[in-house]
Structure 1
Amino acid sequence: MRFTVPTLALGLLLSQCALAAGDGTAAVGGGLGGALGNVIGQQIGGSTGAAIGAGVGGAAGSAVGAKKGNRTEAALGGGLGSAGGSIIGHQIGGSTGSTIGAGLGGAAGGALGNHLGDDGDNNSGGKRHKHKRHHKHD
C-alpha cells in the first residue's frame, strides 16, 4: 500500500505521451481508473480481483474522458488495456508491477480506443460547402 502514491504518479507521468495524439483525457482517465481499480481489486480479491478491478476502472475512466461519440471504443480499449496490463505487470513485478501495468495499459488502451473511434466518423474532415445555384429573375 505504501507504493500506491508513487505508482499513481508514475502512471500519470507516463500517460502524458498520449496527450500529443489529442487523446489525452481518455488516456489519463483510463490510466487513473485502471490503477485505482487495480489497487481496490487487490484489497478485495487478490490478483484476480486486481485484474477485474483494473478492467472495470480502466473502462469507466476512459469512457468518462473520451469524446461523446467515442465512449464505447475508449471504454473497450481502456478496460482491456488495464486488465491485460495488470496481468502482465503482476507476472513481472508483483502487486506494484500490477498497478503500474494497469495504469499504463489503461492509458494506452483508452487513447487507442478513442483514436480509433475518430476514424469511423464521417464528419471529422474539413468544412463542407454547399454549392447553391442563384437564379436571377428579370
Structure 2
Amino acid sequence: GATHLVPYSHKWTRAVNLKEKTVQVTMKSGSAVLWVGGMWHAGGANVSKDRERLALFISHNVGYLRQQENQVLSVPREVARQMPRKLQRLLGYKGGIWQIDFRDHLDFLRDGEVIHPSAKVAQKGWCKL
C-alpha cells in the first residue's frame, strides 16, 4: 500500500472530508516522494504477507518552528553521538531560541562537557569546567 496524497489540500481553506479522492504514489524501491507538509497524506496498508515496508520521513522547518517529533528525545544519545555534526544539528542539536538554559543541545550529547572552552555555565554540576 503506497502513500496516499490529497493533491492541493495544503491550499484548501475548508475541512478535509475523509472520503476525499487520493492519489496513491507507487514507486520503485529506493525512490523518494516530496510533498508540502500541509498536504493531507496517509500511509497505505501493507498487504504483503512476508515483507516489511520501510520508510524514512524527514521534515525541515524554519529554525523558530518546532517539528512534530522531538528528534533530540527520539534518537538515543549514544546513537546521535556517532553521527556527523551536520546530522546532529539537523536532529536539533544546535543553538536557537529553544535552547535548554541558554545552552547548545550538543552539550548534552557529551554528558555536560562544554564544547567551546570559552563557554561558562553558572549552575554547578551542569558541565565540566
Normalising by structure 1, we get a TM-score of 0.19
The structure with the greater share of residues assigned to strand is: 2
Higher relative contact order (CA 8 A, sep 6+): 1
Q: Per residue, is there more helix in 1 or in 2?
A: 1
Which structure's CA Rg is the greater one?
2
